Structure 1
Amino acid sequence: MLSDDLGLDYKLRADYSVFDFSLTDHMSDLVGRLMISPRRTQSYVRLAENLDPEIVELSSISMFDPLPPAWREWCMTGPELRVISPNQEARLREWRGIYLIVDETDGARYVGSAYGAENLLSRWRSHVRRDHGVTVQLQQRNPANFRFSILERVSPDTPIEEITALEQTWMHRLHTKRFGLNT
């Protein structure tokens, strides 16, 4: 087994070389960013030796890691939260605010607030994992049926007392204490 400058392993054969295209960390920041325009013909076959494509763009973001939606449009399920992209993780880690969880089996609602080290990301993940600090009503439910959305974003320097006061106003407006999962 031989290795080239890029870390690709290959074996030399009498009439051709065989490469091992296992994914490595080398140039991994380019994955999903290169856009090409191959010349397709009726007998088009995707062989590297026949390809010779035109490079159209080297995007600043990966098409496999799309930008997250605007906070007002954010809506994701419990299973989706387990596999979110790094861009989405980073955004939820930045944002503080008031959020809504709806259990899609019966429409039961829960209003919560997120502040701290990882803000919405940490809080939502704790609901999906059923961590300590999650209400008894939520712990008794299947997080695979949860749908998360953001009701209101707040500034990173908003005092915790103000954030919890906002949380209470949302609980009142959405009646989540009397008809929902807040206690």
Structure 2
Amino acid sequence: MDVLKLLELDPVDVKGHLAVWNGIENPLETFFDGRFEQWQQAQTKRNFGRNYIVSLIKLPGVCQWLFVGVYLSKGISSSSSDGKCHYYDTELTTIGESLIGRLVVHFKRTGRNSYPTGETLSGRATIHSILPEPMAFQDFSDFKHVCLSRSELEMLYRHQYPSWKTALSSVSGVYLISDRLTGKQYVGSAYGSGGFWNRWSAYANGHHGGNKLLRLLFNEAGEGGFSQFQYSILEVCDIDLSKESVIEIENRWKRKLLSKEFGWNDN
């Protein structure tokens, strides 16, 4: 079924927004964090010249997009001094509100156009599936699958998700911080009370976590230098394992990954 017909929208009143990673943030993460509208309001061009914005976020599947709302476009409220960024005044409508985060749309994007007109969407944006519940940040599953982006890490600590806090607080071990842009790595360890949860809070709240070379990076590049960081777990240990034993395991991983020679470890 045609999505615009489902939403009872006239194509001439609609501008679509095919939200994809902008090099800094994944829009799906901003949706989970309740910041999508704010993220969408900042545009480098005058993209929202029609009454309604049908917002769709790219999903991992082929040609699959998550419907995250129909927004009323009230025009540009302000622009940056250099004219390179425009800030739109928008309002989330009640149109399709029960489908927000649940409706998965099939749409084959041609080229790199992220702002198709309603006429382009009409007949081509169709229902793929409807989820029983709105898509949300996933509950903790297991340690071997932990691989968090920078924004996901911050989200965890803002919302204190119980399943994640419980799991990460229950074990000690060795972790890996990687920069997806440069490939540089940092191997660290978490031990003592609070385990990974306690140790990673220093990164979520302060970026460098007190590490010497990461502190230098922060002084040189600021928060932007950490935007493409990801945080994963290399090895899990018993929460009661001694500090010395955990550090011994950490050093083994440093040797394996050459993080002293080519990364941010300096000892």
What's the TM-score bracket when you normalise by the shorter of the two chains? 0.5 to 0.7
**Could you list the runs of 5+ residues in structure 1 that have no partner in the other structure?**
1-45, 47-62
Residue 144 of structure 2 is aligned with which of 64, 72, 76? 72
Using the TM superposition, give the Cα deviation of residue 131 of structure 1 relative to its aligned residue in structure 2, in angstroms.
Answer: 6.8
Secondary structure of the 1:178 match is: helix
Task: Determine if contact 2:171/2:196 at 8 Å carries over to the other structure.
Answer: yes
Using the TM superposition, give the Cα deviation of residue 174 of structure 1 relative to its aligned residue in structure 2, in angstroms.
Answer: 0.3
**Could you list the runs of 5+ residues in structure 2 that have no partner in the other structure?**
1-97, 99-134, 219-224
Cross-structure match for 1:101: 177
| TM-score after normalising by structure 1 | 0.60
Using the TM superposition, give the Cα deviation of residue 88 of structure 1 relative to its aligned residue in structure 2, in angstroms.
Answer: 1.1
- Is 1:114 aligned with 2:186? no
Pairs within 5 Å for 1:13-28: none
Q: Which amino acid aligns with 1:165?
A: E
Cross-structure match for 1:148: 231
Cross-structure match for 2:242: 159
Task: Determine if contact 2:192/2:240 at 8 Å carries over to the other structure.
Answer: no
Using the TM superposition, give the Cα deviation of residue 98 of structure 1 relative to its aligned residue in structure 2, in angstroms.
Answer: 0.3
Using the TM superposition, give the Cα deviation of residue 64 of structure 1 relative to its aligned residue in structure 2, in angstroms.
Answer: 5.4
Using the TM superposition, give the Cα deviation of residue 105 of structure 1 relative to its aligned residue in structure 2, in angstroms.
Answer: 2.0
Seq. identity, %: 31
Task: Determine if contact 1:96/1:156 at 8 Å carries over to the other structure.
Answer: yes
| TM-score after normalising by structure 2 | 0.42
Q: What per-residue deviation string (whole Å, max 9, x for no partner) do you get for residues 20-42 of structure 1?
A: xxxxxxxxxxxxxxxxxxxxxxx
Task: Determine if contact 1:65/1:87 at 8 Å carries over to the other structure.
Answer: no
Aligned residue-pair number: 123
Q: Which amino acid aligns with 1:160?
A: K
Residue 202 of structure 2 is aligned with which of 126, 149, 152? 126
Task: Determine if contact 1:65/1:86 at 8 Å carries over to the other structure.
Answer: no
When Rg is computed on C-alpha atoms for both structures, the one with the higher figure is 1
Residue 259 of structure 2 is aligned with which of 172, 176, 181? 176
Mapped to 1, the partners of 2:138 and 2:263 lie a distance apart of: 34
Task: Determine if contact 2:195/2:239 at 8 Å carries over to the other structure.
Answer: no
Q: Which amino acid aligns with 1:70?
A: D
Residue 168 of structure 2 is aligned with which of 92, 107, 112? 92
Pairs within 5 Å for 1:50-65: none
Mapped to 1, the partners of 2:241 and 2:255 lie a distance apart of: 21
- Is 1:135 aligned with 2:218? no
Task: Determine if contact 1:77/1:147 at 8 Å carries over to the other structure.
Answer: yes
**Would the alpha carbon gap of residues 129 and 175 (structure 1) be closer, same or farther in structure 2, given more than 3 Å must change?**
same
